[in-house]
Amino acid sequence: MLLSASSSDLAPKVVAGFAALYFAFLFIKRLSSSAPLPLPPGPKKLPIIGNIHQVQKKKQFLQFYEWSKRHGPVMSLSMGGQPLIILSTTQAAQDLLAKRSAKYSDRPKMVMAGELVTKGMHMLIRPYDDSYKLHQRLEASLLKATSSETYLPIQDLESKQFLVGIMQNIHDPNGVDFHKHVKRVGK
């Protein structure tokens, strides 16, 4: 019977099925999670979409500034059910991110990007733990201004090699494959 139904009869059933699954997921998630900690004040939100409809497409910082006048320097939004904390003053950012960085520096666990693709080794998506701090200390010594001066001869050589590679292919009937040369420099 399901196979004989037309696609116009099937579409509402499929949408209703997905909606039921989504609401069941939200219900189970709410039951299984412990009581959430209170979030800072923020603008009123709608169920499911939160504040997405209120955020401007361009120059969002102006909207956040207006909200900060009403809700204070630390406010919360909900973007599709995901809480988002906005720090609208330098003082709020300094207090929370610099003075209490260990408490707020962890990242959400991203299984696909963090564990399967990068094996937990990519600096931007590592959890904030002792291993992260060690990597941060090791990389900081390589990225400071005095260290970067030692890379100038290598950068100069790579720039020249990049230009030589392009010049060697300048008369190629298919044109220069810039992607190949940029990819080589980026390795």
pLDDT in tens, the chain (187 residues): 455 556 667 778 888 888 888 888 877 777 666 666 788 999 998 888 888 888 888 888 899 999 999 999 999 999 888 888 999 999 988 888 877 776 766 666 777 766 777 776 677 777 778 888 888 888 888 888 888 888 899 999 999 999 998 898 888 888 888 888 888 877 6
pLDDT computed for residue 35 by the predictor: 62
Structure tokens at 41: 């004040």
pLDDT computed for residue 82 by the predictor: 86
Q: How far is CA 53 from CA 26, 79, 84, 109, in A?
A: 20, 9, 14, 27
Domain boundaries, the chain: 1-35, 40-90, 106-150, 151-186
Task: Provide the residue type at 178 as one letter.
Answer: F
What residues are paired with 75 via a beta bridge?
86
For residues 44-56, b (16+ Cβ closer than 10 Å) or e, as one string? ebeeeebbeeeee
Q: What is the dihedral of CA 153, 156, 161, 163, to 10 degrees?
A: -170
Q: Which residues contact 1 (CB under 8 A, 6 or more apart)?
A: none
pLDDT computed for residue 87 by the predictor: 92
